[in-house]
């Protein structure tokens, strides 16, 4: 029996769709999803998973009252714990302090220095003093260090940061963030409260410390000839530093003599792991030491190469027209002007600043998951650039 014409048409269309679907299933393979974890793909072994002990001797420890807070002959060296912080961050600061006092400073009693662009409140001072047996000093950042410099054009600042905001550069429209980054890059070590100190350990509000540390980390820096200690390495947002590397290259062109012969240049210009970052940042990998944690020797920042480098950058205006952070600025300077052997990974200091961790494999650590880099979304693992540092320099 012959089918009506409309039924024949329907059958043909249905068959057509059927074969089209078969074709799609067997010929078009979907692209593999981008791996959220470069960490696992691109390095063979995460050193945080190795059993982690203390760094090599000599290490200075508590014996009797050699680190007692009121001992005028103590073994402490000229070093301080250092925080730039706002009054509103009191509770978050207390939480960071509690962790650091519990894991380390209740043994060594290094003084704390708190700085702010406005005076600290009495409540802030009272509660902070109560959180430590060590000496505490509060001070204000000199206006000349904090103010936007005279050569920055406000209209240009507003235009530039509106563009950065469109590109979702975090905090780009917050002037105080730019001021803070500039101050942390090139001015903090000129604060009169730090004049007699050589080493500092930067501590931010709302960070965590997880592992008991039983040696004097400042003495470690001094005895082992280290300039800079870090825990975490990250990629930066290239949009925030588009001209930082070209400005750096200009400076280096004028001062080739400042390049250290044992530098980490290849680490800075790596383009193999995230070529897109290197391209957008015009030649810089954007890999940096995450500077909310740093234990460092201010002699490096106070040295002529660094001072001149900072002045060059400051004049170029990128702390305001872009959003240059102190982390890439410090890291680039260290990578170029310092001996890479003098940069130390504090693998044994368990640390978190949201959303990243350094969590070693050690019975001395509590409260973090060994080897876990982030507790945020999986794509955040892509921001991990520690493998780069280990590749070019090692874990030393």
Ligand X SMILES: Nc1nc2c(ncn2[C@@H]2O[C@H](COP(=O)(O)OP(=O)(O)OP(=O)(O)O)[C@@H](O)[C@H]2O)c(=O)[nH]1
Rounded CA separation 65/62 (Å): 7
294 in active site: yes
Three-state secondary-structure class, residue 98: helix
Taking the complex as a whole, the smallest distance from the CB of residue 233 to Mg ion amounts, in Å, to 16
Of 92 and 339, nearer to ligand X (C-beta) is 92
Do 84 and 180 contact (CB within 8 A), yes or no?
yes
Residues of span 190-219 touching ligand X by CB under 6 A:
204-205
116 binds ligand X (CB under 6 A): yes
Q: What is the 3-state secondary structure (H, E, C) of 231-275?
A: CCEEECCHHHHCCHHHHHHHHHHHCHHHCCCCCCHHHHCCCCCCH
204 binds Mg ion (CB under 5 A): yes
- Point out which span in 167-175, 177-185, 202-210, 257-265 binds Mg ion (CB under 5 A): 202-210
Taking the complex as a whole, the smallest distance from the CB of residue 31 to Mg ion amounts, in Å, to 36
Nearest to 392 by CA among 269, 254, 307: 269
- Point out which span in 200-208, 254-262, 303-311, 328-336 binds Mg ion (CB under 5 A): 200-208
Q: Which of 294, 322, 338, 383 is catalytic?
A: 294
First to last CA, the chain: 86
- Point out which span in 43-51, 77-85, 217-225, 227-235 binds ligand X (CB under 6 A): 77-85
The counts of H helices and E strands in the chain are: 17, 12
Identify what 89 binds: Mg ion, ligand X, none; CB under 5 to 8 Å per kind.
ligand X
Nearest to 343 by CA among 185, 226, 220: 226
Q: Which of 38, 79, 82, 84 binds ligand X (CB under 6 A)?
A: 84
339 binds Mg ion (CB under 5 A): no
Residues of span 126-185 touching ligand X by CB under 6 A:
176, 180
Do 78 and 199 contact (CB within 8 A), yes or no?
yes
Taking the complex as a whole, the smallest distance from the CB of residue 204 to ligand X amounts, in Å, to 4
Burial of 32 (0-12, 13-18, 19+ CB in 10 A): exposed
Taking the complex as a whole, the smallest distance from the CB of residue 56 to ligand X amounts, in Å, to 32
Residues of span 268-297 touching ligand X by CB under 6 A:
292
Of 160 and 292, nearer to Mg ion (C-beta) is 292
89 binds ligand X (CB under 6 A): yes
For β-strands 228-230 and 294-297, DSSP reports them as antiparallel
Contacts of 88 (CB under 8 A, 6+ apart): none
Taking the complex as a whole, the smallest distance from the CB of residue 162 to ligand X amounts, in Å, to 20
Contacts of 253 (CB under 8 A, 6+ apart): none
Contacts of 281 (CB under 8 A, 6+ apart): 236, 238, 241, 242, 244, 245
Q: Which of 50, 54, 117, 307 binds ligand X (CB under 6 A)?
A: 117
Identify what 308 binds: Mg ion, ligand X, none; CB under 5 to 8 Å per kind.
none
Taking the complex as a whole, the smallest distance from the CB of residue 291 to ligand X amounts, in Å, to 9
Q: Which two tokens stand for residue 95?
A: 């939480």
Q: Which residues bind ligand X (CB under 6 A)?
A: 83-86, 89, 116-117, 176, 180, 204-205, 292
Q: Which residues are catalytic?
A: 294
């Amino acid at each position: 029996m012959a089918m009506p014409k409309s039924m024949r048409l329907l059958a043909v269309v249905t068959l057509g769709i059927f074969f089209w679907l078969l074709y799609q299933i067997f010929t078009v393979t979907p692209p593999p999803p981008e791996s959220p974890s470069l960490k696992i793909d691109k390095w063979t072994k995460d050193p945080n998973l190795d059993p982690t002990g203390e760094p090599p001797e000599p290490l200075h420890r508590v014996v009797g009252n050699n680190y007692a807070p009121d001992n005028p002959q103590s073994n402490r060296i000229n070093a301080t714990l250092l925080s730039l912080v706002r009054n509103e961050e009191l509770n978050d600061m207390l939480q960071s302090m509690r962790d650091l006092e519990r894991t380390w400073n209740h043994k060594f009693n290094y003084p704390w220095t708190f700085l702010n662009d406005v005076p600290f409140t009495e409540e802030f001072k009272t509660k902070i003093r109560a959180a430590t047996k060590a000496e505490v000093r509060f001070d204000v950042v000199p206006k000349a260090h904090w103010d936007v410099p005279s050569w920055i054009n406000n209209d240009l600042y507003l235009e530039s940061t509106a563009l950065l905001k469109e590109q979702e550069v975090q905090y780009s429209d917050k002037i105080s963030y730019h001021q803070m980054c500039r101050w942390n890059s090139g001015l903090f070590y000129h604060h009169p409260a730090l004049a007699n100190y050589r080493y500092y350990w930067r501590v931010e509000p709302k960070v965590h410390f997880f592992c008991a540390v039983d040696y004097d980390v400042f003495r470690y820096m001094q005895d082992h000839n280290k300039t800079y200690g870090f825990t975490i390495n990250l990629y930066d947002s290239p949009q925030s530093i588009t001209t930082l590397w070209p400005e750096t290259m200009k400076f280096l062109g004028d001062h080739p003599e400042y390049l250290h012969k044992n530098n980490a240049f290849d680490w800075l210009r790596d383009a193999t792991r995230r070529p897109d970052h290197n391209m957008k940042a015009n030649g810089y990998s954007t890999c940096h030491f995450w500077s909310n944690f740093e234990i460092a020797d201010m002699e490096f920042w106070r040295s002529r190469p660094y001072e001149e480098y900072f002045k060059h950058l400051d004049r170029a205006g990128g702390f305001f027209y872009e959003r240059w952070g102190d982390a890439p600025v410090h890291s680039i300077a260290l990578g170029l002007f310092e001996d890479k052997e003098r940069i130390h990974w504090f693998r044994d200091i368990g640390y978190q600043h949201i959303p990243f961790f350094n969590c070693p494999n050690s019975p001395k650590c509590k409260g973090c998951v060994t080897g876990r880099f982030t507790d945020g979304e999986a794509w955040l693992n892509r921001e991990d650039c520690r493998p780069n540092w280990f590749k070019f320099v090692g874990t030393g």
